[in-house]
Amino acid sequence: MQYIPQGPPFVMIDELLSVSEKETQTQFFIPEGHLFVENGYFTEPGLIENMAQTAAAGTGKKAADEGKPAPVGFIGSVKGLEIHKLPPAGTTIYTTVNFVMQVMNAHVVNALITCNEDLIAKAEFKIFLQ
């Protein structure tokens, strides 16, 4: 995607579904044989990266709309991570990231992932933008 700095095989989102000032939504079809699929399930690192890439995609889209390049961001912390279950390969996950606040170049967001309308994972991220 043009809004994130990652490239294959490290892309964890397929489509940017919506972007607003406060919320970004993406989807990702989990293919068999993906880097983060183990024993038929998308693993914890993949879920975390999916949430982070969703946040990045929203920021990148907003920057592109303003005619600016997408900023590079780094995860500063992950707080309150809850993983309820691992989604199986061959399914689509939907991720929503909600903007909480910004202090200088630090952004705090809440993220959640669903699959088949079930809550899969959620966390709060502190992301630093360059």
Query: pLDDT (tens digit, 9 = 90+) per residue, 26-83?
Result: 999 999 999 999 999 999 999 999 999 999 999 999 999 999 988 888 899 999 999 9
Per-residue pLDDT band for 86 (boundaries 50, 70, 90) equals: very high
Structural domain containing residue 89: 15-129
Q: What is the count of structural domains for the chain?
A: 1
The tens digit of pLDDT for each residue in 101-118 reads 989 989 999 999 999 999
Report pTM. 0.93
- In this structure, is residue 4 part of a structural domain? no
pLDDT at 70: 83
Residue 9 domain flag = no
Evaluate the CA torsion angle 19, 24, 29, 34 in order and state its sign.
Answer: positive
Note whether residue 5 is domain-resident: no
Specify the CATH number for the domain of residue 61: 3.10.129.10
Residue 51, domain member (yes or no): yes
The answer to the question of residue 78 being in a domain is yes
